[in-house]
Amino acid sequence: MNYKLPGLVAAAALFLFSGSALAQETPKYSYVEAFKPFFYPQTGTETRSASGQAGHAYWQNSADYDLNVSLNEAKNEITGTADITYTNNSPDQLGFLWLQLDQNLFAKDSRGNAVVPPSGSRNGAHGEELEGGYKIKSVKLDGKDVKYTITDTRMQIDLPKELKSKGGVAKIKIEYSFISPEYGSDRMGVQKTKNGKVFTVAQWYPRMCVYDDVMGWNTLPYVGASEFYLEYGHISANITVPANHYVVASGELLNSKEVYSKEENNRWEQARNSDKTVMIRPESEIGKNQASGTKTWKFKIDQTRDFAWASSPAFILDAAKINLPSGKKSVAISAYPAESAGEKAWGRSTEYTKAAIEHYSQKWYEYTYPAATNVAGNEGGMEYPGIVFCHMDSAGEDLWGVTDHEFGHNWFPMIVGSNERLFAWMDEGFNTFINELSTKAFNNGEYYSKKNIARAGGFMMGDNLEPIMVGPDNMKERNIGSLAYYKPGMGLQILRETILGPEKFDKAFKTYIDRWAFKHPTPWDFFHTMENVAGEELNWFWRGWFINKWKIDQSVKDVKYVNGDFKNGAQIIVENLGQLPMPTTVQVKFKDGTKQIMKIPVEVWKRNTEWLLKLNSTKEIDEVMLDPDSMIPDVNAKNNTWTSAQAKPVEKINAKDFTGTYAAKGVPIKLVFTDKNGQLYAKAGSQPEFPLEYTGNNQFTFEEADMTMVFSKDKKEIAFKQGEREFKFTKE
């Protein structure tokens, strides 16, 4: 779904322009907490391997649908029958079945209506007064009436005898009708145009709830914000509409010769073999079809979790072929009213659809449906298998963005069938991430602009946001855009570009898609897969970015020349202040204009809160900057840069003047000082030698061990301090 609200506009502004102005107090970093073991709540099971793949005994149930439906244009009414073949592949016998009745969201007394605040919401019917919700005429099991109970958006069917495990089949038939809202929670609706109504129809038939190995029956009610969790199966649909309507739908049209004219069918053949958009029904032909009565359009789609359709007398139709890596062909289709026409608007819709599908098929996993149809309606953007609804007023970059986003959903969650009701980030966030790559690839980056991730830190890790892992019904509606879309999408970008690198990330991400195509993964299956395939420990990242709302804050604590002279090199101290550690990139810019990059791997932060880098250079430093390419969101940009103006003057010394061996009465060890390329090192007895930092006035420190050594002016004595203890050493 495409998430657009006034609040999101503000969020986007903060995303682009926020920085130190939004800096917040950051909790202290604990490397033990960040990297502590036992992140995963359970080890591998027979159904889900600890490696992240489906286990040897993985199962999921299936639901096939034969749907017959008719549209009453005047009443906005859908009347139909749903014949459902439900197969229980689980090891459990089932005494009852649960179904989703999502249209009941629009009933006046629904829970979804009850949670709409007085200020309004994108969810629900936008205050429209209608007799919404399903009217159930009958429910039959194996041809006989069966007891059922409806609770809000769920129906429970009590079985006269338990449905057998490992292959038991139940045949359900439901007769129903409902009135479509004009604005259906931004997922479906009825849009008036100058040439007739555009019906975009979704959540239009009773659908089986998922029974899985994680929760058993998944029966969370549909209250508008959270989306769907559905079983896979085969769907056929016979859709009867007024004879002057044109219908587009999920899947393959089976009776094109019956519903299209001979000329229109010829154009379809041209389109299926053309990389350029072919007009099937141009604007000039709208209104010429004045047939009365009704016409039935027949579709089917295989291995799908849902089905949606659109119908209108106002549609302009155009199409082009989609080239898939295997050599198979699909077809990109656009259906839109005359108000949306034009090369600066929906005239490029099929071009956008084709480009998006071809990119994702090449990059991640081949598109599996015979068509990809973009429909102009009154939705901001909503996705279904093989068909999406985008707003009829979208144009240019906005139309590319929503088209690309909605078709990206054909990978998440249409192919990889995650539980959207609980984990919106596993479809919206993943999709937002792949959208960034596809936009960069489209038409040589026509609409691409690189985002400054670093500036987003103050907002994305703000205290007013909930953690990503909470469900969309469990977060403020204004935060859904950030937490379901942008923050998880950004997290994957950080994981790809900064933590793993594109090659390792892409291999792991493709493996995740391959493993869980047409299955039901959990977040833990994703986490396990990424770690196992990439070969990296990532629990610190999952824990901080997804489970908690930890902040990232790294800083340049100090920069000092060795012995006060830049010709001896420099010591740079970097701190990890925020709760979430990150690999660190340090850029040193010298006064001659040259630069040097230094890298700190995340493993440094497994047992340190700060780290000293030795810069071997004879050049004077102008600036030290963390994350020079703005790849990491940081809540406080002010402390990421050190400039030469901040340098504290320290007199130059010759390290050789401080070399020698020193002893103290009653202390069984000696201190030995040596010079290595202008750097003074100390060695205490048989312990390894360690570098000393000159801080002025003949004083040196070794902060890791809390040591300070102050030489007398004649260098014959040392006051050695460690913590509260002090010793006097004399040169031998």
Interval 88-139: pLDDT, tens: 999 999 999 999 999 999 999 999 999 988 888 888 888 888 999 999 999 9
33-to-37, 584, 605 alpha-carbon distances in Å: 9, 19, 11
What was the pLDDT predicted at 229? 97
Tokens of 730: 């004399």
Which residues, in sequence order, are CB contacts of 455 under 8 Å at separation 6+? 15, 16, 17, 18, 19, 630, 633, 637
Question: Mean pLDDT, 10 residues at a time, over the chain (732 residues)?
Answer: 51 39 65 94 92 97 98 98 98 98 96 89 87 97 97 98 98 98 96 98 98 97 95 98 97 97 97 98 91 95 98 98 96 98 97 98 98 97 98 97 98 98 97 97 95 88 93 93 96 98 98 98 98 98 97 96 91 96 98 97 97 94 96 94 89 92 91 92 90 90 88 95 90 93
CA nearest 23: which of 461, 491, 643, 464?
461
Could you tell me the fold of the domain covering 655-731? Lipocalin (2.40.128)
Give CA torsion, residues 424, 430, 433, 434, to 10 deg: -130
Rounded to an integer, what distance in angstroms lies between the CA atom of residue 318 and that of residue 348?
10
Give the DSSP letter string of 101-124: -GGGGGSTT-HHHHT--TT--SSS
Give the DSSP letter string of 164-190: PTTTEEEEEEEEEEEEPPSEETTTEEE
Provide the total of helices (H) and of strands (E) in the chain, helices listed first: 14, 41
Locate the domains of the chain by residue range.
59-231, 554-646, 655-731
pLDDT tens digit sequence for 239-283: 999 999 999 999 999 999 999 999 999 999 999 999 999 999 999
What was the pLDDT predicted at 26? 61
324-to-59, 328, 374, 389 alpha-carbon distances in Å: 30, 6, 18, 23
DSSP letter at 254 equals S
Rounded to an integer, what distance in angstroms lies between the CA atom of residue 619 and that of residue 624?
13
Given a contact cutoff of 8 angstroms between Cβ atoms, the answer to whether 638 and 22 are in contact is: no
SS (H, E, C) 519-569: CCCCHHHHHHHHHHHHCCCCHHHHHHHHHCCCCCCEEEEEEEEHHHCHHHC
Rounded to an integer, what distance in angstroms lies between the CA atom of residue 552 and that of residue 635?
6
What was the pLDDT predicted at 685? 87
Which residues, in sequence order, are CB contacts of 181 under 8 Å at separation 6+? 106, 125, 128, 130, 132, 188, 189, 190
Given a contact cutoff of 8 angstroms between Cβ atoms, the answer to whether 438 and 408 are in contact is: yes
Rg (C-alpha) for the chain, rounded Å, is 32
539 CA to centre of own chain = 18
Any idea which residue has 């469900």 for tokens?
Answer: 471
What was the pLDDT predicted at 4? 58
What was the pLDDT predicted at 20? 39
Give the pTM: 0.91
30-to-387, 540, 610, 626 alpha-carbon distances in Å: 48, 11, 11, 21
The helix/strand/coil state of 319 is strand
Given a contact cutoff of 8 angstroms between Cβ atoms, the answer to whether 294 and 243 are in contact is: yes
Q: Span 59-231: which CATH code? A: 2.60.40
C-alpha torsion sign, points 191, 368, 204, 486: negative
Beta strands 725-731 and 717-722, pairing class = antiparallel
Which residues, in sequence order, are CB contacts of 178 under 8 Å at separation 6+? 77, 78, 103, 106, 132, 133, 134, 135, 204
Which residues, in sequence order, are CB contacts of 567 under 8 Å at separation 6+? 618, 678
Q: Note whether 59-231 and 655-731 share their fold.
A: no
CATH homologous superfamily for the domain 554-646 = Immunoglobulins (2.60.40.10)
